[in-house]
Amino acid sequence: MSALPVNASVAHAGQGARLSAPSALRNAPVLSNLLREVAPPSGRALEIASGTGEQITRFANILPLLDWHPTEIDRTRLASIDAYRSEAALPNLRPTRRLDACAPGWSRDEPPSDLILLVNLLHLVSENAARTVLTEAARALASDGVFVIYGPFRRSGKLSSEGDMQFDADLRAADPQIGYKDDQWMRHTLTDAGLTVKDVRDMPSNNLAFIAEKGKP
């Protein structure tokens, strides 16, 4: 991943290996409500880039019939997820695995998932890397599976607030290849990957949620 500005992915040290991310704590209730509505009732749930582990622990608690599989690439965050998992002791929250979701071909080793969740990653990687994440995730999705993507995006090429303009500028100053992706680009990329975009929702703090599905072959 590119060198990021200090405000891009904030996590504070907690007890032991645990980290705490203010954005995860803010987003967890909103995402919980969304997942209650759109997630399949049971099956395998894969989260890409699970961060500190605070969110997926909550999701596993409120959706106990889904078997949750956290992944991360950063070793300190892998340790944080496992610390939260150990404390929660939920039977449907599986051990964390290291996964570079920007690497082509990772879906070949991934069992089909009925739900894939991706939160606040795409603006932190290049467009090519984001396309790989989405394409590989689509391949890893089971027939009739649901793909939920949440984060900040441009709307038809435009940013919707001064805060978004500043954050996007900070990201591009750190690396010109990264920054907010466009909602229309997202639609086209998901469609090209063989998914149907069922809904795009306005979410708090100017975020969007994309809900895409994979039909039966």
What is the rounded CA–CA span in Å between residue 66 and residue 114?
9
**Confidence at residue 145, expressed as pLDDT on a 0 to 100 scale:** 98
> pTM for this structure?
0.94
Range of the structural domain that residue 87 is part of: 12-213
The answer to whether residue 142 sits within a structural domain is yes
CA dist 171 to 7, 92, 109, 128, 138, Å? Answer: 9, 36, 32, 16, 26
Q: Is position 149 within any domain?
A: yes
In a domain, 1, yes or no: no
CA nearest neighbour of 17 among 86, 95, 116, 102: 86
Number of structural domains found in the chain: 1
Give Cβ neighbours of residue 63 (< 8 Å, ≥ 6 apart): 35, 36, 39, 45
DSSP state of 17: T
Indicate whether 18 belongs to any domain: yes
Residue 108 lies in a domain: yes
Q: Is residue 2 part of a domain?
A: no
Residue pointed to by tokens 């990264």 = 178
Mean pLDDT of each 10-residue bin along the chain, 217 residues long: 54 74 84 97 97 95 98 94 95 96 97 97 97 98 98 94 94 95 98 98 95 87
In a domain, 5, yes or no: no
Find the CATH number of the domain harbouring 198: 3.40.50.150
**DSSP-assigned letters across all residues of 58-77:** HHHHH-TTEEEEEEES-HHH
Note whether residue 3 is domain-resident: no
